[in-house]
A and B are shown apart, each in its own frame.
Chain A
């Protein structure tokens, strides 16, 4: 059973739209949640969230964590074609060996011009 569930699995929007990607998790000893963006190559780091309610922001991207309800959202405003990618959510389990990451299956975002 997946410990990290992302939704939607796939999303198609037009340039200028705002999108919200969801990530819910079930990890016994939560340490942190990470968001990655993956284009046609290696995933690149976007945000790490450890505390509830504190928004992390980078340009048009922002993310927030709710540790009570066990989820995070990633918002992208005024989307551009360059935002097309797979967005991956991962959760660090403090209780596991090495504090390993558990990844969700990703959300494939396609932005049409």
Chain B
């Protein structure tokens, strides 16, 4: 079974702090994604990566950056956290081969910025 893990389930940070959210997958998937999920808005794509050191902006990249130095790890960085970044953050991974499009999700990190 694919396993996607995220470094924290709950995180509380102060405005202006730099925040790192880590995601690790153990199935050698090429593609990895970061979403945020807010009530009534569904999942919105922040950034994605199709391979090591490759990244693409999603729909709401402002205020975020990402890093993919190793295939199994995709980090989301909030350079200077703000209260409007309080949200549930979900990481996902997907294998590229075989026409499969199923994304496997991590358990999520609920971030609160005070």
Given A34-B102, A48-B101, A105-B41, do A42 and B48 touch, yes or no (CB 8 Å)?
no
Which residues of chain A from 75 to 111 have any CB-CB distance to chain B below 8 Å in the complex? 88, 90, 92, 97-101, 103-106
CA distance A43 to B40 in the complex (A): 16
B31 and A98 contact, CB distance less than 8 A: yes
Given contact pairs A103-B43, A105-B40, A42 touches B101 in the complex (Cβ within 8 A): no
Contact assessment for B102 and A42 in the assembled complex, using a CB-CB cutoff below 8 Å:
no
Q: Give a binary string over B81-110; 1 marks a CB under 8 Å from any A CB, 0 the rest.
A: 000000000100000000001111111100
- From B45, B50, B58, B105, contact of A42 by CB (8 A): B105
Q: B56 in the interface, Cβ–Cβ < 8 Å?
A: yes
Tell me whether A32 is interfacial, beta carbon within 8 Å. yes
A45 in contact (CB, < 8 A): yes
Kindly count the residue-residue contacts between A and B in the assembled complex, taking CB atoms under 8 Å apart: 50
Interface size on B, residues (CB 8 A): 22
- Chain A 45-80 near chain B by CB (<8 Å), digits 1 or 0: 100100000000000000000000000000000000
Contact between A101 and B101, CB atoms less than 8 A apart? yes
Tell me if A43 and B42 are in contact (CB < 8 A): no
Residues of B within 8 Å of A103, CB to CB, are 35, 42-44
Compute how far the CA of A41 lies from the CA of B5 in the bound complex, rounded to whole angstroms.
Answer: 12
Nearest CB on B from A86, distance (A): 9
Contacting pair B42 A32 (CB below 8 A):
no
Is A9 in contact with chain B by the CB < 8 A criterion? yes
Q: CB distance B40 to A42 under 8 Å?
A: no
Known A98-B31, A105-B40, A106-B42; judge A45-B102 contact (CB<8 A).
yes
Q: Which residue of A lies closest to B58 (CB)?
A: A100
**B40: A residues at CB distance < 8 A:** 9, 105
Task: Report A-chain residues with C-beta under 8 Å of the C-beta of B108.
Answer: 41-42
**Residues in B neighbouring A44, C-beta threshold 8 A:** 105
Q: Which of B35, B50, B101 contacts A92 (CB 8 A)?
A: B101
Roughly how many angstroms separate A34 CA and B67 CA in the complex, as a whole number?
27
Could you list 8 A-B pairs, sorted by A, with CB under 8 Å?
Answer: A6-B42, A42-B107, A99-B101, A100-B45, A101-B103, A105-B41, A105-B42, A106-B42
